[in-house]
Amino acid sequence: MSELARHNRRRVIDLIGAADRLIIATTPEHVFYCSGYRSMSYDTDPATRMAVVFDADHGILIGHKADHWAAVEAMGEDLEYFAYGTFFFDERDVAPTVGFKTYDEALLAAIRQLSGGKRGIFHDRASDDLLKVFSDTLSGTDGSAVFRRARAVKNELEIDLMRKASALTERALARALKEARAGMSEADLTAIISSEMIIEGAQPGFVVVTAGERSALADAYSTTRRLLGHDIVRIDVGCRFNGYWSDTARSAFVGEPRPDALAAFTATAAGQDVGRKLVKPGISTDIVFRETVATVRTSGLPDYQRHHVGHGLGLESHEYPTISAANNVTLEPGMVLCIEAPYYRPGWGGVMTEDTMVVTAEGAEFFTHLSHAPIIIAA
């Protein structure tokens, strides 16, 4: 991960276009992007604060003392670590930690150490109070757009991680669909998917398994509701593998599908198929949106509406660009996208198909390969 982080820092610097700037990354995703380390504290404490301060030649990761040795394991000698707060390790056999009382003190120290000769600071959301300390010599610039641009186009190391994340997610989903039977619960299928992800070294992110009328509930947690004959089972799942997300969805039917359910599935699948086949360099996201929605309408759901039909994927499960009518983003090689056209009708149910792909120079490479045909679960 340290090699990937070095590449990512270099990309941010190149996009800024000036090697004599100091850059500060503070969001969880940007800290991981630029350091190769993601603290488990982000999952347990919303108040967790970390930062990476770097230039073209050096970098410092700021984090709590409790994270020190896990961060060193992830980064190796790639970055210095400035620790803050109190946590006790028996460190008699290792080099002393560079320690500070507070996050602010550690961040200021890192800026001071690396700011010599710099013309300015690019940051994602660094504290204005901290930047005022350097206002006489360094101007602070919001670099959020630079980070967004950097992350939108993945390099080969990132693409390989996401390819693996998608493959293991599909294996987990395929196992659950193979073992599914009427009488099993949503929670039973969720457990199969989650355990398979964990066995393969991933962290389950969202595992949506909803059946019957509950399949209309977007992004709802699974329950002990059991699968019944003629149910729609909508499964939308994603995991995080070495920091990068997957996102895949399929719909299944318990026994013979109801005609109206099969018709809705066929219409949405047709739209999703058109959308995913449109993905290529040079096409605009709003065109993909319009063609996808239009196809769903002409294929059997004339009143179909949707706010987006896909999104970027990477360090977050939803990231730039969003594929919607309001967005006019030209797709480029290296962008990783999910294409979907879900349909939700409360009290009736919902259906969806979702695939992940990377834009290539010639078109797109699909990370997901599960069948798009209606999936039948034994009644």
The 10s digit of each residue's pLDDT in 141-167 is 778 888 999 999 999 999 999 999 999
pTM above 0.85, yes or no: yes
Nearest Cα to Cα of residue 57 among 112, 10, 110: 10
Residue 59, φ and ψ in degrees, nearest 5: -155, 150
Domain 2-151 shares a fold with domain 156-377:
no
Please state, in angstroms and rounded to a whole number, the distance separating the CA atoms of residues 287 and 277: 12
In the prediction, which pLDDT does 127 show? Answer: 64
State the average pLDDT over residues 179-193: 98
Please state, in angstroms and rounded to a whole number, the distance separating the CA atoms of residues 251 and 262: 10
343-345/349-351 β-pairing = antiparallel
Other beta carbons less than 10 A from residue 139's beta carbon: 13
In the prediction, which pLDDT does 129 show? Answer: 61
**Out of 136-145, 207-216, 242-251, 361-370, which region has the weakest mean confidence (pLDDT)?**
136-145
Six-digit token string for 69: 């040795």
Assess whether pLDDT exceeds 80 at residue 94.
Answer: yes
In the prediction, which pLDDT does 138 show? Answer: 62
On whether the 2-151 domain is CATH 3.90.1150.10, my answer is no
Assess whether pLDDT exceeds 80 at residue 118.
Answer: no
Beta pairing partners, 351: 343
Percent of the chain with pLDDT over 70: 96
Beta pairing partners, 190: none
Please state, in angstroms and rounded to a whole number, the distance separating the CA atoms of residues 142 and 145: 8
**Boundaries of every domain in the chain:** 2-151, 156-377
Contact of 325 with 305, CB cutoff 8 Å = no
For the chain, counts of helices (H) and of strands (E):
11, 19
CATH superfamily label, 156-377: Creatinase/methionine aminopeptidase superfamily (3.90.230.10)
